[in-house]
Chain A
Amino acid sequence: DGGITQSPKYLFRKEGQNVTLSCEQNLNHDAMYWYRQDPGQGLRLIYYSQIVNDFQKGDIAEGYSVSREKKESFPLTVTSAQKNPTAFYLCASSISVAANEQFFGPGTRLTVL
C-alpha cells in the first residue's frame, strides 16, 4: 500500500532532551512537509523540502531541525530550544511543491514531561 508512515505514534520527552520524529513515504513524492497542530488550532508549517538535500523554514521553524538525505524520508528533530514542544506533529507529502494536494501521515503526539 502506498502512503505515509510516522513513528512513533506517541512520544514522551523530558525537558532538555532532543527527540527525532520519523516520516517515511512510498508515494514517490518530491515534496515533504512537517506541521504542528495544537488543540483548537489549524496546522502550522514547520519545515518543508522540495527535493533531496534541500529544505526551507516554514512559519514556526525555531527549535526544530530537519534533514532530507533520501527522497522517502524526512525526519524532524525537536530540540531543547523549542520552548513549548507538546503538540501533535503531522508529516505530509505532495507530488511537488507546486502541487497543492498534500497527503498526510497519521501523526505523532509528543508530550514533554
Chain B
Amino acid sequence: QKEVEQDPGPLSVPEGAIVSLNCTYSNSAFQYFMWYRQYSRKGPELLMYTYSSGNKEDGRFTAQVDKSSKYISLFIRDSQPSDSATYLCAMSEGAQKLVFGQGTRLTINP
C-alpha cells in the first residue's frame, strides 16, 4: 500500500463547477500538507500549505485536512479553464522529506 493515495483521474468538469480533489494517507505522523498545481511540461507550483487539521481558504481554493480520517481535500470554486492542470498532494512529518501523491489530472471544459 502506498503511503499516499490519490485518484489519478482524469477528472473532467464544466466551467463554473465546484471541484473536489482528495488524497488519503496511512502515516498518522504527517502534520504538514500541501497542494501543488502542475501545468503540462512545467514544474509544480505550490498552491496551498496547511499544518495539522482544519481548513484554509485562498480565493477560490479551500484546503481541508481531517487527520482523524487521514484524508485531505482541495476544493476549487467557480472553476475556470485555466485551472486545467494536474494537482499533486504532498505531505510530511516535519523536517522530513515530502511524500507525494501520484497527481489528479483535471480538465475544466468551457
A residues touching B (Cβ–Cβ < 8 Å)? Answer: 4, 6, 40-45, 48, 58, 88, 90, 92, 97-98, 100-107, 109
Contacts and interface: CB of A to CB of B under 8 A. Distances in A.
Nearest to A103: B46
A106 B44 CA distance: 8
B97 A45 contact: yes
Interface stretch (B52-60, B70-78, B99-107): B99-107
A84 B45 CA distance: 26
B80 interface: no
B44 A101 contact: no
B88 A102 contact: no
Contacts of B44: 43, 90, 104
A103 B45 CA distance: 7
B90 to A, nearest CB: 8
21 contacts: A4-B43, A40-B103, A41-B103, A42-B4, A42-B6, A42-B102, A43-B90, A43-B98, A43-B100, A44-B100, A45-B97, A90-B43, A100-B32, A100-B34, A100-B92, A104-B36, A104-B44, A106-B42, A106-B43, A107-B41, A109-B41
Interface of B: 4, 6, 8, 32, 34, 36, 41-46, 49, 88, 90, 92, 94-95, 97-98, 100-103
Nearest to A42: B100
A43 B90 CA distance: 9
Contacts of A105: 43
A98 B31 CA distance: 13
Contacts of A90: 43-44
A88 B45 CA distance: 15
A12 to B, nearest CB: 16
Contacts of A92: 43
Contacts of B4: 42
Contacts of A88: 41
A16 B46 CA distance: 36
Q: Which of A4, A41, A100 has the most CB of B within 10 A?
A: A100
Contacts of B88: 42-43
